[in-house]
Amino acid sequence: MLGLMQDRPLLISSLIEHAATFHPNTEIVSRLPEGNVHRTNWGALRDRSKQVANALKSLGIGQGVRVGTLAWNSHRHLALYYGVSGSGAVLHTVNPRLFPEQIDYIVNHAEDQILFFDITFAALVEKLAPVLKTVKAFIAMTDRAHMPAIQVPNLLCYEELLDAQSTDYTWPEFDERSASSLCYTSGTTGNPKGVLYSHRSTLLHTLMELAPDTFGISSSETLLLIVPMFHANAWGAPYAAAMVGAKLVLPGPHLDGQSIFTLMHDERVTFSQGVPTVWLMLFQYLDANPQIDPRSIGVKRIGIGGAAVARAMLERFENDFGAEVVQGWGMTETSPIGVISKLLPKHANTPPEELLKIKLKQGRGVWGVDLKIVDAMGVTLPWDGVAFGNLLVRGPWIASGYFRDEGGAVLDADGFFPTGDVATIDPDGYLQLVDRAKDVIKSGGEWISSIDVENAAMSHPAVAEAAVIGVAHPKWQERPLLLIVKRPGVAVEPGEILAHLSQRIAKWWLPDDVVFVDSLPHTATGKLLKTSLRQQFRDYQLPGTR
Ligand code: ADP
């Protein structure tokens, strides 16, 4: 027997309609590539989104057609989030930090018919245009005065195109399982693969993102979105902000420490999300300007994911900023919320040192995401916080496969998606990431977690950033090599670092050598690019093997 409740589809257009109806005057503040700060609100953004939808219609873009963006976080990009997906087309957010060849591959693979781009990427677009076979129009996201002088066919001006459209548009109703947006994983291995989100998966994910035990976002929030809108839908925050009518602050391309500090401070930001590398840039700015009191920002919560949170980072936010750190684990394929780190009532009297260990775990399961860890044979492992194995996840906002069936069938017999991560889960359901399966260091048949060694190194005051990779060893197969970027102007010797580590990690995990480097390479999504480091140090001779 079926229930008798209304079968209304869960559609992204409902989010912007809600925000505009109940929070029309709540602001959306953007720092644009042109340099100025722009202010609009949810009411006006709905109108702009409807103009986007009408513009797409005038360009012949129908349901299911892919519309690409090469753009930073701004109100213009936000209007595309709603106008493109709301009209039934598919918003394909391309990561502009990828190599040009990868962008070319992705846009062609997705068969984008329109490409919206920020003027920052004008030269890139001009270079790529001849090979982007399916793109019928290139739309520069700016006004007439700032139009780039480039030679591409069918170059249009965003503001002009939209101004010419009516704000009268009725959002279509369609199957909630229809595709809404497309995001390619950055492809640290192999070609990038497309993750195709649906309206339904997006709305369910958004609901969970608001919950008090996850990011706890409400209408009283001012949200600074540092996570790019081209990275897993900015962790869903553009949708979450609309669902509750929160104020949004969008930094455009200005992600340096000073710009982020100024926006946070001036707009009274209460919650901000970003990967560890952007927070390191903020810290560097504050280090250089010790007269600034980080508490003057007034930020209450910092969401961190994409890479492990180091103890030093967590403590700095808690102690210097007076902010709570909410760590999350996820990936493009998980929309991206997988687990979120929040304490339980039972932790009320837990001693600080113990509490810190819990906070540094990636987090606990949320409704909607089933977790399991398995050994090499696929046998399920216990949740004892010790046994570690391959992590698999299942749920309504987890990918079932990749766009155009790249990589073939990916789910296991029970419908779980293999994440490529190795983790433990403790009896309270806290997941701790040991490593990415391909980054784990295999020493004498045992595994060393590069994340743990990096975190231990990062707790030394002279260390700005650390990476640990496995280097071939004649006896042990692999041994860890620690690469360190020092804080500016600080002198430190390898021996001091190793002494510091020996207090914190097992003796056999101690790196065989420490090398100081000027900088470490990162992927387009801000993670340490270990493939490149392994390549660079492939022939490195560890002490004792020279
Ligand atoms: P990519 O396209 O580079 O794979 P994703 O953002 O999808 O980008 O990366 C997901 C991966 O990031 C996860 O599989 C995991 O290895 C890593 N990751 C995400 N969150 C965390 C976290 N909190 N701690 C450690 N690693 C994390």
Domain CATH number, residue 380: 2.30.38.10
Residue 102, ligand 1, Cβ within 6 A = no
Q: 3-state class of 211 per DSSP?
A: coil
Percentage of the chain beyond pLDDT 90 is 89
The alpha carbon of 474 and the centre of ligand 1 are apart by a number of angstroms equal to 31
Residues 114 and 97 in one domain: yes
Residue 86 CA, ligand 1 centroid: distance in Å: 29
Q: What is the pLDDT of residues 270-285, one digit of tens each?
A: 999 999 989 999 999 9
Whole-number pLDDT of residue 484: 95
The predicted-structure confidence for 100-128, as pLDDT tens digits, reads as follows 999 999 999 999 999 999 999 999 999 99
> Is residue 159 among the annotated active site residues?
no
Is residue 469, in this structure, part of any structural domain at all? yes
Q: Are residues 145 and 33 part of one domain?
A: yes
**Residue 307 Cα, ligand 1 centroid: separation in angstroms?**
6
Print the SS3 string covering 462-497: CEEEEEEEEEEECCCEEEEEEEEEECCCCCCCHHHH
Is 504 within the bounds of a domain?
yes
* CA–CA separation, 515 and 366 (whole Å): 40
Q: What is the mean pLDDT of residues 536-545?
A: 90
188 pLDDT band, cuts 50/70/90, is low
Residue 335, ligand 1, Cβ within 6 A: no
Under the banding of pLDDT at 50, 70 and 90, the label for residue 197 is very high
Query: Looking at the predicted structure, is the pLDDT value of residue 323 above 80?
Result: yes
Q: Is the CB of 523 under 6 A from ligand 1?
A: yes
Q: Buried (b) or exposed (e) across 408-442, using 16+ Cβ within 10 A? A: eebeeeeebbbbebbbbbeeeebbbbbbbeebbbe
Ligand 1: nearest atom to the Cα of 451: 25
Q: How confident is the model at residue 193 (pLDDT cuts 50, 70, 90)?
A: very high
Closest CA to 156 of 177, 182, 173, 135: 135
Please, which pLDDT band fits residue 187 given cuts at 50, 70 and 90? low
pTM above 0.85, yes or no: yes
Q: Within this chain, do residues 401 and 474 fall inside the same structural domain, yes or no?
A: no
Residue 174: pLDDT over 80: yes
Mean pLDDT throughout 309-313? 92
Evaluate whether 178 touches 198 at the Cβ level (below 8 Å). yes
Residue 501 lies in a domain: yes
Residue-range definition of the domain harbouring residue 376: 363-436
Write down which residue in 384, 407, 436 finishes a domain. Answer: 436
Confidence tier at 313 by pLDDT (50, 70, 90): very high
Domain count of the chain? 3
Out of 133-137, 143-147, 221-225, 406-410, pick the least confident: 406-410
For the question of residue 523 being annotated catalytic, the response is no
**CB half-sphere exposure, 125, CA atoms < 13 A:** 30
**Max Cα separation, the chain?**
75
Shared domain check, 496 and 404: no
Q: Is the minimum distance from the CB of 183 to ligand 1 under 6 angstroms?
A: no
Residues of the chain with pLDDT > 70, as a percent, come to 99
Q: Name the CA dihedral angle for 20, 21, 27, 32, rounded to a multiple of 10 degrees.
A: 0
Residue that terminates a domain, selected from 197, 212, 227 = 212
Name the catalytic one among 142, 185, 419, 523: 185
Query: For the segment 139-170, what is each residue's pLDDT rounded down to a tens digit?
Result: 999 999 999 999 999 999 999 999 999 999 99
**58: helix, coil or strand?**
helix
164 and 47 part of one domain: yes
Residue 189 has what pLDDT?
59
Residue nearest to atom 24 of ligand 1 (CA): 308
Contact between residue 193 and residue 406 where contact means Cβ atoms under 8 Å apart: yes
Residues with Cβ within 8 Å of 236's Cβ and at least 6 positions away in sequence, in order, are 202, 205, 206, 209, 335, 336, 337
* Encoded tokens for 530: 């270990």
Instruction: With a cut of 80, say whether residue 382 has pLDDT above it.
Output: yes
User: From its phi and psi, is residue 203 left (phi > 0), alpha (psi between -120 and 50) or beta?
Assistant: alpha
Q: How confident is the model at residue 194 (pLDDT cuts 50, 70, 90)?
A: very high
Last residue of a domain, one of 436, 456, 485: 436
Annotated catalytic residue within 34, 136, 318, 447: 447
What's the chain's average pLDDT? 95
Q: Are residues 400 and 448 in the same domain?
A: no
Contact (Cβ atoms closer than 8 angstroms) between residue 454 and residue 468? yes
Tell me the CA distances in angstroms from 541 to 346, 411, 531, 535, 546, one per residue in order: 49, 40, 18, 14, 5
17/155 same-domain check: yes
Rounded Cα distance, 208 and 224, in Å? 19
Structure tokens of 468? 């640990």
**Residue minimizing CA distance to atom 18 of ligand 1:** 306
Compute the distance between CA of residue 310 and CA of residue 324 in angstroms, rounded to an integer: 14
Distance CA 68, CA 98 (A): 14
Ligand 1 neighbour 449 (Cβ under 6 A) = no
What is the Cα–Cα distance from 31 to 202, expressed in whole angstroms?
26
User: How far apart (Å, rounded) are the C-alpha atoms in residues 495 and 492?
Assistant: 8
Residue for token pair 């309609």: 17
How much distance in Å is there from the Cα of 528 to the middle of ligand 1?
A: 11
Q: Is 332 in the pocket of ligand 1 (CB under 6 A)?
A: yes
pLDDT in tens, 436-470: 888 989 888 788 999 989 999 999 999 999 999 99
Whether residue 37 sits in one domain with residue 170:
yes
73 and 179 co-located in one domain: yes
Which residue from 329, 449, 458 has its CB within 8 A of the most atoms of ligand 1, so it is best to mutate? 329
For ligand 1, whether the C-beta of 109 sits within 6 Å is no
Report yes or no on 343 lying in a domain: no
The pLDDT assigned to 99 comes to 85
State the first-to-last Cα distance of the chain, in angstroms, to the nearest integer.
74
- The residue nearest atom 11 of ligand 1, judged by CA position, is 331
> Does any ligand 1 atom lie closer than 6 A to the CB of residue 185?
yes
Local structure of 351: helix, strand or coil:
coil
In the numeric block, which tokens belong to residue 111? 């068969």
Residue 419 forms part of a structural domain = yes
* N residues, the chain: 546
Q: Is 509 a catalytic residue?
A: no
Q: What is the pLDDT of residues 338-372, one digit of tens each?
A: 999 999 999 999 999 999 999 999 999 999 999 99
β-sheet bridge partners, residue 326: 303
Distance 257 CA to ligand 1 centre (A): 23
Residue 270 covered by a domain:
no
Q: Decide if 333 is catalytic.
A: yes
pLDDT band at 378 (very low <50, low <70, confident <90, very high): very high
Residues 414 and 463 in one domain: no
Query: With 60 as the cut, is the pLDDT of residue 526 above it?
Result: yes
CATH of the domain at 521: 3.30.300.30
Q: Does the CB atom of residue 327 touch ligand 1 within 6 A?
A: yes
Looking at the fold, whether 421 and 460 belong to one and the same domain comes out as: no
In a domain, 271, yes or no: no
DSSP-derived letter for residue 426 is: -
Is position 226 within any domain? no
> Ligand 1: which of 434, 527, 528 to mutate, most ligand atoms within 8 Å of CB?
527
Beta carbon of 194 within 6 Å of any ligand 1 atom: no
Q: Is 229 helix (H, G, I), strand (E, B) or coil?
A: coil
Task: Mark whether 384 and 498 lie in a shared domain.
Answer: no
* Nearest Cα residue to atom 3 of ligand 1: 186
CATH number at residue 24: 3.40.50.12780
The CB of 329 under 6 Å from ligand 1? The reply is yes
